[in-house]
A and B are shown apart, each in its own frame.
Chain A
Amino acid sequence: MTETLKITIDNREIAALPGQTILEAADAAGIYIPRLCAHPDLRPIGSCRMCTVIADGRPQAACVKPVSDGMVIENETEELLEHRRNLIDMMFVEGNHFCMFCERSGRCELQAMAYRFGITAPQYPFQFPAKTVDASHPDIMLDHNRCIMCARCVRASQELDGKNVFQSIGRGYTRKIGVNGEKDLGDTDMDVNDRAADVCPVGCIIKKRVGFDVPFGQRKFDHKPIGSEIEEACHV
């Protein structure tokens, strides 16, 4: 029989399995911890910091921190919600996010996160950085304006597709996603059926000729906030 651990999230005691991350244990218990870089099929890297919780008094990325017995976790405190809101704001002002014509709008996880937090406008000055669009691939477009550096595509290409199409280049504010030694996407072995083409949470990796296929009002986040599928699962 598998040993079960007890952890507490926001004063609610839940069961967890050894080896689970805080995020996995919370998901299983129907507690949503916001995340952008984490993806169920990919190795977690704790990059976006949206899932930061206070675990036993210390800030930890819930997607990488394993649970331990008796761990006490704070998730929806005022301080953490403000921290997450600030992160969302920074992601909006550091890119060029023109939702009104983006094909991912309505199913974009960054946009959905801002909706969940009720953000009507970012509080920081817009940077409007100069970014490029790589449309060299016949079936896929890469729009760096919308990239939030979650590196899901990097991991999906390596871990799921057995390729190495994407890499992170540079550090800090100037970090960006590159393809095969800074060549264009069309020069790589990227295929439209690769998992890497599906995991982008925003509108950076876009499949050509399928945009706007879901009408307004029927898109993934039109009626229910991101995370509600996790929160609702626990009521079953």
Chain B
Amino acid sequence: MSKPKVATTSLAGCFGCHMSLLDIDDRILQLIELVDFDKSPIDDIKEFTGRCAIGLIEGGCCNEENVRVLQDFRQHCDILIAFGDCATMGGIPAMRNNIPLSECYDEAYRNGVTVYNPSGQVPDDPDIPLLLDKVYPAHAVVKIDYFLPGCPPSADALWAVLTALLTDQPVELPYELLKYD
């Protein structure tokens, strides 16, 4: 029987959660005994090659591309895990959520103290994904099966959840591994 496949992505996140995944240290050797990685920044596979058992979502949705990628993950993965505070509650990017989008653009491209932009133009190339009005946690866009908060979630927490799911054990996080920071 072929190994189950795991896909990962970083949407509106900082890649810190993926760093935490790598922080499982030599247990990554055990992990690749258990699974193959599909679409993921870890192996740089850009598109899904087939059905995946687990999809790990880092980051919430701040633009239209994030939404498309997240929907693609939902379509291809049996289980979706939102991992990290950005995926579970919006995180640092969601700090813009009570500021009008136009003010965010003005600050970033026109009025910021380090901005040099005499024409005052805001980038609007078709290749640049449009920003959403707000930053949304993953479960506001698609159904999420498991949540693993933390900024980032610790390597031990990630390991506990992944190994439980891959060995058909119930996902139970010990008290000390559930952290929001």
Which residues of A come within 8 Å of B, CB atoms?
Answer: 92, 96-102, 105-106, 111, 114-115, 118, 120-122, 125-126, 128-131, 216, 222-225
Main secondary structure of the interface of B (DSSP, over half): mixed
Q: Does B166 count as interface, using CB distance less than 8 angstroms?
A: no
The answer to whether B95 touches A118, judged by C-beta atoms less than 8 angstroms apart, is: no
Please, what's the 1-or-0 string for B15-39, where 1 marks a CB less than 8 Å from any CB in chain A? 0000000000000000000000000
Q: How many residues of B are in contact with the other chain, CB < 8 A?
A: 28
The answer to whether A120 touches B148, judged by C-beta atoms less than 8 angstroms apart, is: yes
Main secondary structure of the interface of A (DSSP, over half): loop
Given contact pairs A121-B82, A121-B88, A98 touches B95 in the complex (Cβ within 8 A): yes
- Chain A residues with Cβ under 8 A from B146's Cβ? 120
A96 to B96, CA, bound (A): 11
Given contact pairs A99-B151, A121-B137, A128-B134, A115 touches B175 in the complex (Cβ within 8 A): yes
The answer to whether B181 touches A100, judged by C-beta atoms less than 8 angstroms apart, is: yes
- Chain A residues with Cβ under 8 A from B151's Cβ? 99-100
The answer to whether A118 touches B98, judged by C-beta atoms less than 8 angstroms apart, is: no
A225 to B146, CA, bound (A): 22
Which residues of B come within 8 Å of A, CB atoms?
Answer: 82, 85, 88-92, 94-95, 97-98, 134, 137, 139-140, 144, 146-149, 151, 173, 175-176, 178-181
- State the Cβ distance, A133 to closest chain B Cβ, in Å: 12
Given contact pairs A96-B98, A111-B180, A130-B98, A120 touches B92 in the complex (Cβ within 8 A): no
Among residues of A, the one whose C-beta sits closest to the C-beta of B85 is A100
- Chain B residues with Cβ under 8 A from A92's Cβ? 89
- Chain A residues with Cβ under 8 A from B88's Cβ? 120-121
Beyond A92-B89, A121-B149, A216-B181, 5 additional contacts (C-beta under 8 Å) are A99-B85, A99-B181, A115-B179, A120-B88, A128-B94
- Chain A residues with Cβ under 8 A from B94's Cβ? 126, 128
